[in-house]
Amino acid sequence: MGNIGNPTKLSSIESIKQLKGCCDKGSKAQGLHQLKLYLAHFGYLNYQHTNVEDEKFDDELESALKSYQKYYRLNATGTLDEATVSQMVVPRCGVPDKEIHHHGSKSLPAISFYRFFPNYPRWPPGKSQLTYAFASDYPNNHVPPVVRAFSQWSSASDYFTFSQVDDVTDADLKVSFERGDHGDGHNFDGAGGVLAHAFAPTDGRVDFDADENWSDGPGAVQNAIDFESVAVHEIGHLLGLSHSDDPDAAMYASISSGVVKGLNSDDIQGIKVLYGLN
**Per-domain residue ranges for the chain?**
10-88, 129-274
Tell me whether residue 185 is annotated as binding: no
Tell me whether residue 93 is annotated as binding: yes
Q: Give the pTM.
A: 0.79
Tell me whether residue 137 is annotated as binding: yes
Provide the pairing of β-strand 196-198 with 225-226: unpaired
> CA-CA distance, 106 to 114, in Å (whole number)?
12
Confidence of residue 184 (pLDDT cuts 50, 70, 90): confident
Residue 82 among the catalytic residues: no
Confidence of residue 259 (pLDDT cuts 50, 70, 90): very high
* Residue in 165, 130, 164, 106 with CA at minimum distance from that of residue 239: 130
Confidence of residue 105 (pLDDT cuts 50, 70, 90): very low
More confident residue, 45 or 174: 174
Tell me whether residue 251 is annotated as binding: yes
Tell me whether residue 237 is annotated as binding: yes
Query: Which residue among 60, 178, 228, 234 is the active-site one?
Result: 234
CB 108 within 8 A of CB 274: no
State residue 9's pLDDT score: 43
State residue 34's pLDDT score: 82
Tell me whether residue 88 is annotated as binding: no
Does 99 score more than 70 pLDDT? no
State residue 138's pLDDT score: 97
> CA-CA distance, 131 to 123, in Å (whole number)?
12
Q: Of 52-66, 82-96, 141-155, give the lowest mean pLDDT range.
A: 52-66
- What CATH number should be reported for the domain whose range is 129-274? 3.40.390.10
State residue 245's pLDDT score: 86
> CA-CA distance, 136 to 201, in Å (whole number)?
23
**106-126 per-position pLDDT tens digit:** 343 345 688 999 999 999 998
Q: Among the CATH numbers 2.40.50.140, 3.30.930.10, 1.10.101.10, 3.40.630.10, which is that of 10-88?
A: 1.10.101.10
Percent pLDDT > 70 in the chain is 87
State residue 4's pLDDT score: 28
**216-250 per-position pLDDT tens digit:** 999 999 999 999 999 999 999 999 999 998 999 99
State residue 260's pLDDT score: 97
State residue 206's pLDDT score: 97
Question: How high is the mean pLDDT of the chain?
Answer: 86
Distances (CA, A) of 54 to 78, 133, 223: 18, 43, 36
